[in-house]
Amino acid sequence: MTDHKLKAGDIAPEFTATTETGATVKLSDFRGKRVVLYFYPKDDTPGCTTQSCGFRDAYPQIEEKNAVVLGVSPDSVKSHVKFKTKYNLPFTLLVDEDHAIATAYGVWVQKSMMGKKYMGIERSHFVIDEHGVIIEAAVKVKPEESVQRAVAALG
């Protein structure tokens, strides 16, 4: 577990990940574009569906601002394919089964449900500029708020 909290002005941690298509991408592949990197706990659960569909609905606005959306959760390729297809998500979903990306961004945290402690994703988003610098970091954000704040941060 990490104590560091990323904030605006920090360099976004580089990562390599598998997409829902099985392709490999790196954050640096998107230099020259802005990136909305959002983290969600699990495919096809209520809050995660709300957040993901919000980004889907805002996607035309996001694209107009020279930005892409990358969704990150610990789910498998197979799970991501089902989720993306079911909700017609127009952006890339990244597999983070080993939690390396979430850990690098400080959002793999201890959570608690009904007194039971477990590790999980803290719902969050990071808006990253064309040069790989974070322009907004929103951690522990509500699903609807995540979309509104990320779009606003793109200007």
Write the pLDDT tens digit of every residue in 7-52: 999 999 999 999 999 999 999 999 999 999 999 999 999 999 999 9
Q: What integer is the mean pLDDT of 104-116?
A: 94
Give this prediction's pTM: 0.95
8 within domain boundaries: no
The first and second tokens of residue 15, run together, are 């990562």
User: In the structure, what pLDDT confidence band is assigned to residue 2 with cuts at 50, 70 and 90?
Assistant: very low
Catalytic residue among 6, 36, 37, 48: 48
CA distance 33 to 45: 29
Residue 53: active-site member: no
Q: What is the mean pLDDT of residues 97-117?
A: 95
Count of domains for the chain: 1
Reading the block at residue 16, the tokens are: 């390599």
- Distance separating alpha carbons of residues 70 and 55, to the nearest angstrom: 10
> Is position 2 within any domain?
no
53: its two tokens: 């569909």
Statement: residue 60 has pLDDT above 50: yes
pLDDT above 90 for 1: no
For residue 34, give the nearest of 57, 72, 61, 65 by alpha carbon: 65
pLDDT attached to residue 3:
46
DSSP 3: -
pLDDT digits (tens, 9 = 90+) for 61-100: 999 999 999 999 999 999 999 999 999 999 999 999 999 9
Residue 24 lies in a domain: yes
Q: What CATH number is associated with residue 75? A: 3.40.30.10
124-146 mean pLDDT: 97
Q: Does some domain include residue 23?
A: yes
Model pLDDT, residue 113: 87
Answer yes or no: is 10 within a domain. Answer: no
pLDDT at 140 over 50: yes
Host domain of residue 40: 16-153
d(CA 63, CA 33) in angstroms, rounded, equals 10
Rg for the chain, CA atoms, rounded: 14
Q: Which residues of 56-80 are buried (b: 16+ CB within 10 A; e: fewer)?
A: bebbeebeeeebbbbbbbbbeeebb
Residues belonging to the chain: 155
